[in-house]
Amino acid sequence: MAAVDRSNQSLLIYDKAGKLIVTGEKGKGTAAITGLAAGAKVAEGDYQASFSDGTNESDKVPVSAFDVLPAEG
């Protein structure tokens, strides 16, 4: 399967309710969810992700479970 060119797309992150909460920088393929408590455990499906070129959007897929890193300092 050929790789998809994401250079003109942004990664979008939605919360469980389907509300868009983060739009990543175009062409980077990343987005940062901020405001989570250090050490928090986020369950798979608490967030969903998709890619958009500003006109078309891919299907949303569940974000895998992750632990929030401790604050640096």
- Transcribe 10-51 into DSSP letters: EEEEEETTS-EEEEPPTTT------SPPTT-EEPTTSEEEEE
> pTM to 2 decimals?
0.87
Yes or no: say if 12 and 48 are a contact pair by the CB < 8 Å rule.
no
Cα separation, 34 vs 15, whole angstroms: 12
> 71 or 50: which carries more pLDDT confidence?
50
pLDDT in the model for residue 71: 77
Yes or no: say if 13 and 48 are a contact pair by the CB < 8 Å rule.
yes
> 7 or 72: which carries more pLDDT confidence?
7
pLDDT in the model for residue 1: 67
Instruction: 27-34: list long-range contacts, CB under 8 Å, 24+ apart.
Output: none
On average, the pLDDT of the chain sits at 94
pLDDT in the model for residue 4: 84
